[in-house]
C-alpha cells in the first residue's frame, strides 16, 4: 500500500497540471499515469458508477457548449450553429475530467475517507479545515439515514410524487425537516464534545510509516512531472 500522503500529493499535482493544460498533443503523455493506475482499480463497480455519472454531465455539456461558443461554424442544426472552438473546448473539458477522475479515483477515492483525512492532517493543512472534513465524513451518513427514515415515513403514508403544488410543498417540507434535524443533532454532538473536553483537535494515535517503496514511487512521480514540464517548455 502506498503512503496516503504521497497519493494525495501526486493526485493534487497531477490534477493541477491537467486542469491548466491547453495543448491537445500533451494529453497523450498525461494519459500514461491513468492507464497505469487503471489496472489497480479494486472496486470496478464503484468506478463505473462514478465514471458514468461524470460523463452524463459531460454529455449534457456537449448538447449546449458547441452551439453556444462563438467561432468558426462547422455544422448547423436548424438555426443553431456548432463552432470549431465550441467543439474543441468541449473535447478539452471531457479529456481533462476523465483523466483527473481516473487518477484520483485510484489514488484518493478508493481509500477510506478517514485515512485520507488522516493524511491531510499529516500534511499540516489548517486544523479547522481538517476538522470540517472529518465531521462532514462522519455525520453526512447520519443525515442521509435521517433522510431515508423520513422518506420511509412518507411512503407508509402513501405519498406518491406528482407534478403538482402539493408534491412541491411536501418535498420542501422534507428538506426543511432534514435541515432542522441536522441542526438539532449538531447541537447535541457539540454538547457531547464539550463534555469530553474537546479543544479543537482530533488527536491521532496511529501514524503512517514511509517505506522504501514510497521513496521509489515518489522519485518516479518527480521524474514524470519533470518530463511533462520539459515537454511543455519545448
* Cell 411512503, located at residue: 155
Residue 32 — pLDDT band, cuts 50, 70, 90? Answer: very high
d(CA 83, CA 74): 5
User: At residue 203, does pLDDT exceed 90?
Assistant: no
Average predicted confidence (pLDDT) for the chain: 86
* Cell 499540516, located at residue: 124
Strand (E) or helix (H) holding 82: strand 80-83
Mean pLDDT computed over 86-105: 91
Residue 189 — pLDDT band, cuts 50, 70, 90? Answer: confident
d(CA 112, CA 110): 7
Strand (E) or helix (H) holding 35: helix 32-38
Q: Which of 231, 211, 229, 143 is nearest to 182 (CA)?
A: 143
Evaluated on CA atoms 209, 212, 213, 215, the torsion sign reads positive
3-state secondary structure of 195: helix
User: At residue 151, does pLDDT exceed 90?
Assistant: no
Q: List all residues 6 or more positions away from 119 whose beta carbon is below 8 Å from its beta carbon.
A: 3, 4, 5, 7, 8, 208
Mean pLDDT computed over 178-203: 82
User: At residue 219, does pLDDT exceed 90?
Assistant: yes
Maximum Cα–Cα distance for the chain, whole Å? 67
pLDDT at position 121, please?
Answer: 83
- Which grid coordinates are listed for 163? 407534478
Whole-model pTM? 0.80
Q: What percent of the chain has pLDDT over 90?
A: 24
Amino acid at each position: 500500500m502506498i503512503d496516503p500522503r504521497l497519493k494525495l500529493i501526486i493526485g493534487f499535482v497531477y490534477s493541477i497540471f491537467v486542469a491548466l493544460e491547453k495543448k491537445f498533443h500533451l494529453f497523450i503523455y498525461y494519459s500514461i499515469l491513468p492507464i497505469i493506475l487503471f489496472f489497480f482499480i479494486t472496486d470496478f463497480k464503484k468506478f463505473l458508477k462514478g465514471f458514468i455519472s461524470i460523463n452524463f454531465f459531460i454529455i449534457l455539456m456537449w448538447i449546449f457548449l458547441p452551439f453556444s461558443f462563438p467561432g468558426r461554424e462547422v455544422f448547423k442544426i436548424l438555426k443553431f450553429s456548432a463552432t470549431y472552438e465550441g467543439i474543441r473546448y468541449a473535447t478539452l473539458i471531457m479529456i481533462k475530467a476523465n483523466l483527473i477522475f481516473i487518477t484520483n479515483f485510484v489514488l484518493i477515492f478508493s481509500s477510506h475517507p478517514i485515512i485520507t483525512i488522516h493524511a491531510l492532517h499529516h500534511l499540516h493543512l489548517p486544523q479547522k479545515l481538517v476538522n470540517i472534513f472529518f465531521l462532514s465524513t462522519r455525520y453526512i451518513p447520519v443525515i442521509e439515514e435521517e433522510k431515508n427514515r423520513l422518506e420511509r415515513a412518507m411512503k407508509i403514508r402513501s405519498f406518491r410524487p406528482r407534478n403538482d403544488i402539493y408534491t412541491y410543498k411536501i418535498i420542501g417540507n422534507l428538506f426543511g425537516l432534514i435541515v432542522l434535524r441536522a441542526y438539532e443533532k449538531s447541537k447535541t454532538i457539540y454538547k457531547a464534545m464539550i463534555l469530553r473536553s474537546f479543544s479543537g483537535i482530533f488527536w491521532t494515535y496511529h501514524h503512517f510509516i514511509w517505506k522504501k517503496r514510497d521513496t521509489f514511487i515518489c522519485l518516479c512521480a518527480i521524474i514524470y512531472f519533470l518530463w511533462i514540464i520539459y515537454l511543455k517548455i519545448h
